[in-house]
């Protein structure tokens, strides 16, 4: 099982969107049972709250359901538990690095490092923006989520180079 954590500042816009998008893509590919997916924020401003209403509205227009997600603050234990911890921007990546033991730093990455259509390193925070900013964030997250899922699929034992499924031998009756 691969455990993935998406992280933004307050866990009410970008990271819950990434959680929902990635969850649906994984389900569409039949990989949801092989993944544990969660999101958190580096700051505790919104702990216990639902995602921002504008985030939920933009997500709902694309048939993503964020209603079950509740904001939480990332804990040091998360950095040990999750295999992949993806920050939405450099500021949050820096905050995660301060919490993270040196041996686990390779687990931390910028989420947009998986994007194929966008050259941006960061997912911009739409919180103080306009409605179309939430749509752009969704576009970016969908792109990076596809790339992340492809990367995880390539790392699966059955997908590694040279790995073949065992042949079944015909039995003589």
Q: Where are the domains of the chain?
A: 2-159
Q: What is the pLDDT of residue 155?
A: 86
Alpha-carbon torsion 130, 108, 23, 66, what sign? negative
Q: What is the pLDDT of residue 161?
A: 44
The sheet carrying 35-41 orders its strands as 35-41, 2-8, 84-87, 108-110
Chunked into runs of 10 residues, the chain (173 residues) has average pLDDT values of 97 98 96 97 96 97 96 97 98 98 97 97 95 96 98 76 39 38
Give dist(CA 68, CA 130) in Å, integer: 24
Q: Is 8 a catalytic residue?
A: yes
Give dist(CA 87, CA 25) in Å, integer: 19
Q: What is the pLDDT of residue 25?
A: 97
Which of 8, 23, 72, 78 is flagged as catalytic?
8
Instruction: Say whether 36 sits in a helix, a strand or coil.
Output: strand
Q: What is the pLDDT of residue 172?
A: 41
Other C-beta atoms closer than 10 Å to the C-beta of 32 total 15
Question: What does pTM read for this prediction?
Answer: 0.90
pLDDT tens-digit profile of 43-61? 999 999 999 999 999 999 9
Q: Is 14 a catalytic residue?
A: yes
Q: Is 57 a catalytic residue?
A: no
CATH number of 2-159: 3.40.50.2300
Which of 52, 89, 125, 143 is flagged as catalytic?
125
């Amino acid at each position: 099982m691969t455990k993935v954590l998406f992280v933004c500042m307050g866990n009410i816009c970008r990271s819950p969107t990434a959680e929902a998008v990635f969850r649906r893509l994984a389900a569409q590919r039949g990989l949801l049972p092989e993944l544990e997916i969660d999101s958190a924020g580096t700051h505790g401003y919104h702990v216990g709250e639902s995602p921002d209403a504008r985030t939920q509205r933009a997500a709902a227009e694309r048939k993503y359901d964020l209603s079950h997600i509740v904001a939480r603050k990332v804990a040091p234990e998360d950095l040990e538990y999750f295999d992949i911890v993806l920050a939405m921007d450099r500021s949050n990546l820096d905050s995660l690095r301060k919490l993270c033991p040196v041996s686990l730093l390779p687990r931390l990455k910028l989420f947009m490092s998986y994007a194929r259509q966008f050259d941006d390193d960061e997912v911009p925070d739409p919180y103080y923006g306009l409605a179309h900013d939430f749509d752009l964030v969704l576009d970016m997250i969908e792109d990076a989520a596809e790339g992340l899922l492809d990367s995880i699929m390539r790392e699966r034992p059955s997908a590694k180079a040279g790995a073949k499924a065992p042949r079944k031998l015909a039995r003589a009756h």
